[in-house]
Amino acid sequence: MSIFDAIKKSVLEGFSSDITLIDIALALGVAFLAGLFILLIYRLTLKGISRNRTFEVTVILITPISAMIVLTITSNLALSLGMVGALSIIRFRTAIKDASDTVFLFWAVAAGITAGAHFYKITIIGCLFIGLAAFIILKLSSAGARPYLLVVRASNDTAIEYTSKILGSNRIKNRLSSLVQNGDYTEVIYEIALPRSYQKLVAALGNVPDIVSVSLVDCRN
């Protein structure tokens, strides 16, 4: 046997054309359960109060779809080459609002690939490990200071200077984003980072006589 025959035999042995219905059902079932688990972690670590239902459907369905593609690739050499060529021309242009959503998409694709390749132990252990890591990391990151926009409207410059002193005395990280002079009022916008207890800051600024209004806007909105 020549070296070319040996390489050809080793390549063809990597493709199995006798995939049974049980193998297909098991792979798709494990992939679908992995998608449900990923969706559960996504909801537990959700930062906002509104859920993107379209993204949730995408996460839960992309795992069995990825498994189906891998099942097709591993069953036939000609189909695998054709499918790789077809997938290479696909472009996804949907904008992702949160960078952490990209992690869940890659996680769902990886779970589908491993399930489709019949590496069920990798699928299960990997999902448990990544799920625990994502839960801990995202919860710790959301427990710290959050970005806000502080909008203060005052009738004179003294109140504006007092606002800056209050932010400095409370050791609140801030950056002046906008300063607008509108008739008798001066409006300033600060980018600040605050923990969950922000009522004291709003109350302190609201008690200043020359400050007309105080607004706090969550930057995630």
Which tens digits make up the pLDDT trace of 182-198?
777 888 888 887 766 66
For 136-172, the pLDDT digits (tens) are 887 776 656 677 788 888 887 777 777 777 777 777 7
pTM of the model: 0.65
CA distances (Å), 110 to each of 26, 124, 125, in order? 17, 11, 12
Residue (of 155, 153, 141, 41) closest to 101 by Cα position: 41
Q: Higher-confidence residue: 152 or 94?
A: 152
User: Among residues 167, 165, 162, which one has the least CA distance to residue 150?
Assistant: 167
Q: Please, which pLDDT band fits residue 93 given cuts at 50, 70 and 90? A: low
Task: Tell the residue number behind the tokens 């009738």, with chain if given.
Answer: 155
Q: Are 116 and 68 in contact (CB under 8 A)?
A: yes
**Counts of helices then strands in the chain (DSSP H, E):** 8, 4
CA dihedral 78, 83, 86, 92 (to 10 degrees): -170
The tens digit of pLDDT for each residue in 30-68 reads 999 999 999 999 888 876 555 678 888 888 999 998 888
Tokens at 130, concatenated: 């990544």
Helical segments of the chain, H only: 3-13, 21-44, 53-75, 77-87, 99-116, 120-142, 157-169, 199-206
Architecture category of domain 146-218 in CATH: 2-Layer Sandwich (3.30)
Rounded distance between C-alpha atoms, residue 76 and residue 61, angstroms: 24
Question: What's residue 12's pLDDT?
Answer: 47
**Domain range list for the chain:** 3-142, 146-218
Question: What's the confidence (pLDDT) of residue 212?
Answer: 79
Dist CA 178 CA 189 (whole Å): 5
